[in-house]
A and B are shown apart, each in its own frame.
Chain A
Amino acid sequence: MDFTYDDEQDALRDAVRGLVGKAYADFEQRRRTAAEEPGFSEKMWTQLAEMGLLGLPFAEEDGGVGAGPVEIGIVARELGRVLAPEPYLTSVVLAGGLVSAAGTRGQRAEVLGALSAGESVLAFAHDEEGSRWAPSASAVRATRDGDAWTLTGVKEPVPHGARADLLVVSAALPDGGTGVFLVDPDGVQRDGYTTYDGGRAARVTFDGTAATPLGTPGQDLEPTIATILDIGRIMAGQEALGAMEVALAATTSYLTSRKQFGVTLNTFQALNFRAADMYVSLELASSLVQWATMVLATGDATRAADAAARAAYQVSRASRHVGQEAIQLHGGIAMTAEYSVGMYAARLSALDHLLGDGQHHLARLAAGIEGYGAIDPLAPTAGRG
């Protein structure tokens, strides 16, 4: 039992921090990058690939690095610290993760090879109107004609859907269940826009669009999607931790430098106490996310699903608390777009709503409370005592 990174993991963290810190620690630079299409830096995408980060989760035979959840978490956390606009979470962790989990050998090599090399951006087209984080699809339907498959319906919002070189799309199968398809976006109608956290998303409309089934044609992949979403939740939690760390640091440094009534704000205990509570929220969330990351590494999907819901719930509460208080304790300056803190709160909110917010996960947890007595996070097998 050990919650600390080993030397290699420390080195990975330092390397990622060095790379993205150089690019985005200056918030103005990050703002300029996010303002221009495609909303992130293509150069940075290539650099992330060169450092091996885009291939981190994938097997070596598929062109990846074969690293574990802890390493992916380190990358996500560092990207979160600087609000890096590159679509690591949606393109690599979610879309790439799905291809890695369900693709045929050929699909994996082709798709993940290009992704790992930084030559392509994937989008995971999964959200539908009213679906609210379900692992299934219904608004986009797949139709089969012999070996040929087509998709019809609308996916929205699709993160980076307008820029993506390849769409990974969930769709209702003709015989029930949810399949996943690879779609070449040429010829698909894509209406892109900017999201409130400075990211990009699109409305993607399929109209008898040709699609290639991922893995075995016709296979229900809902359980696989659910697992990938759980992984995404934990990694979104890592990203949120990075963002919260920086939002808190910005707040404490503001409190010690901003003067009102002739003294710095940290003269007022009422404000210090609120900052102390932000720290408490962050530490508790951090413990839970690191634990969930390790649970993920055990490879037990049931346990990971539970851990993901728990981490997501705690992060949701913490990130609202930290984001809101960071703004409040900064006063008016935090409301301006040039100042970073407001964007941290926006990003935390976007992460919270990407894969299921606190209420969603609390409902999930509440549904199962009589299945166990007390939770034992160190239990060697089931995770519950």
Chain B
Amino acid sequence: MQLELSAEDQAFREEMREFFTMKFPQEIRDAVTAGRELTKEQIVESQQTLNAAGLAVPHWPEEWGGRGWSDLRRHLWNEEMQAAAVPLPLAFNANMIGPVLAHFGSQELKERFLPPTANLDIWWSQGFSEPDAGSDLASLRTTAVRDGDHFVVNGQKTWTTLGQYGDWIFTLVRTDPEVKKQAGISMLLIDMTSPGVEVRPIELIDGGHEVNEVWFTDVRVPADLLVGELNGGWTIAKFLLGNERVGVAPVGTTKRVLAQAKELAGAQLEDPFTRARFAELENELLSLELTALRVVAHSEGGEPHPASSVLKLKGTEIQQAVTELVLDLAGPAGLATGEGAGVPEWAHLAAPTYLNMRKASIYGGSNEIQRQIIARTILGL
């Protein structure tokens, strides 16, 4: 066992820190620090800045812009980005469809899509969930029927995050209704400007518009936009949802917010209960960070560490607890969320952020699903 980073990894960490804090657009970092919602242009600029420096998709195969880093370096890269309030590369592009195309896509699909995906010239949306297919994703009903060299797609997707910005959507569709539900699913890439695609906004409890319904009515999709095998979509979905072990727990961001909260707390820090809450969250966060480090250090070229399933579960719980603490610190000022309210920006944003963050334990495999995974696959229950 060894505590410290090797000299090379330490130098790597400093190099990352320097880039993110010195060479990255300051206004974007300021917006993230303040907890403001970013515009589409800021998200695109951010990823393009990273991509130009080779830092947007370091975990992809090297041929497509990957850097061949160890899991530990990926972890450090990810943490330093969060610590510096640099927005992470768009997950749909960088963590979801990119690795899927690199792994399952035809050479043609790779060449066509991977470079613009890395550079966020194409904004991807994720079209998996449906009104009756949430945790039980395999019961999805959106159909794709072969018609010559096209598929004709009908159905409805929901919860499509930032679908209003989407250029393309990667979807799971039912291509064989006769077989066991997992066996009849395929993955299709759909141009969101195609006739018959309609995106309708959903308003969330924080008042924001970050998710959408996406309706498909007789949408014609060229058959060569099928990813992998026909009816092989479930394998791809499992790959997509399961290949993340770096960065599933947003430790860096939560740490930054917690440290900021200490400053915002002001005189409230004299209250011993408030202090204890800080100390408790810091300790939980430290244990989470160390668990993440154990996981990345262990998975070096081997099987994923079993504890990786702890990261999403605990990471989101702590993330939520920190937003709750910030809202409590705002206290009555947190009520002043209307237009024209004169309270400090952080207090004004505290309640929407707290409400918005309830999502973290629901999406991407709810915390109950994580518990189920731990119970089944780790504990053998």
Tell me which of A1, A277, A290, A314 contacts B283 (CB under 8 A): A314
Return chain B residues, CB-CB under 8 Å to A277.
Answer: 371
Check A284/B314 contact, CB under 8 A, given A275-B381, A365-B279, A375-B286.
yes
Q: Is the CB of A252 within 8 A of B298?
A: no
Return chain A residues, CB-CB under 8 Å to B286.
Answer: 288, 310, 375, 377
Check A367/B275 contact, CB under 8 A, given A1-B297, A374-B259.
yes
Q: Is the CB of A266 within 8 A of B5?
A: no
Q: Does A269 contact B (CB under 8 A)?
A: yes
Q: Does B39 contact A (CB under 8 A)?
A: no
A68 to B, closest residue via Cβ = B1
Q: Does A380 contact B (CB under 8 A)?
A: yes
Q: Is the CB of A256 within 8 A of B381?
A: yes
Q: Is the CB of B3 within 8 A of A284?
A: no
Tell me which of B4, B259, B278 contacts A378 (CB under 8 A): B4
Q: Is the CB of A369 within 8 A of B293?
A: no
- Give the CA-CA distance A295 to B286 in the complex, in Å: 14
B256 to A, closest residue via Cβ = A374
Q: Mark A257-278, 1 if CB is under 8 A from B, else 0.
A: 0000000001001011101110
Q: Does A175 contact B (CB under 8 A)?
A: no
What is the minimal beta-carbon distance from B31 to any residue of chain A, in angstroms? 20
Check A378/B3 contact, CB under 8 A, given A284-B288, A290-B294.
yes
Q: How large is the interface on B (under 10, 10 to 19, 20 to 34, 35 or more residues)?
A: 35 or more
- Give the CA-CA distance A272 to B370 in the complex, in Å: 12
Q: Does B243 contact A (CB under 8 A)?
A: no
Return chain B residues, CB-CB under 8 Å to A374.
Answer: 83, 255-256, 258-259, 282
Q: Is the CB of B1 within 8 A of A280?
A: no
Tell me which of B255, B256, B307, B381 contacts A266 (CB under 8 A): B381
What is the minimal beta-carbon distance from A304 to any residue of chain B, in angstroms? 11
- Give the CA-CA distance A277 to B375 in the complex, in Å: 9
Q: Is the CB of B3 within 8 A of A291?
A: yes
- Give the CA-CA distance A335 to B379 in the complex, in Å: 23
Q: Is the CB of B374 within 8 A of A380?
A: no
Q: Does A241 contact B (CB under 8 A)?
A: no
Q: Does B135 contact A (CB under 8 A)?
A: no
Q: Does B276 contact A (CB under 8 A)?
A: yes
Q: Does B72 contact A (CB under 8 A)?
A: yes
Check A284/B381 contact, CB under 8 A, given A277-B371, A366-B278, A375-B282.
no
Q: Is the CB of B294 within 8 A of A273?
A: no
Q: Is the CB of B279 within 8 A of A377?
A: no
- Give the CA-CA distance A46 to B163 in the complex, in Å: 70
Q: Does A373 contact B (CB under 8 A)?
A: yes
A285 to B, closest residue via Cβ = B287
Q: Is the CB of A288 within 8 A of B287?
A: yes
A381 to B, closest residue via Cβ = B4
Return chain A residues, CB-CB under 8 Å to B26.
Answer: none
Chain B residues within 8 Å of A, Cβ to Cβ: 1-6, 9-10, 13, 72, 83, 255-256, 258-259, 262, 269, 272, 275-276, 278-280, 282-291, 293-294, 297-298, 307, 310, 313-314, 368, 370-372, 374-376, 378-381
A/B interface sample: 23 pairs, CB < 8 A: A1-B297, A2-B2, A272-B379, A273-B372, A275-B381, A279-B374, A280-B374, A287-B287, A287-B291, A290-B290, A294-B2, A313-B280, A314-B283, A362-B276, A366-B276, A369-B279, A370-B269, A373-B259, A374-B83, A374-B258, A374-B259, A375-B255, A377-B290
Which 3 pairs of residues, A with B, have the shortest CB-CB distance?
A287-B290, A294-B3, A272-B375
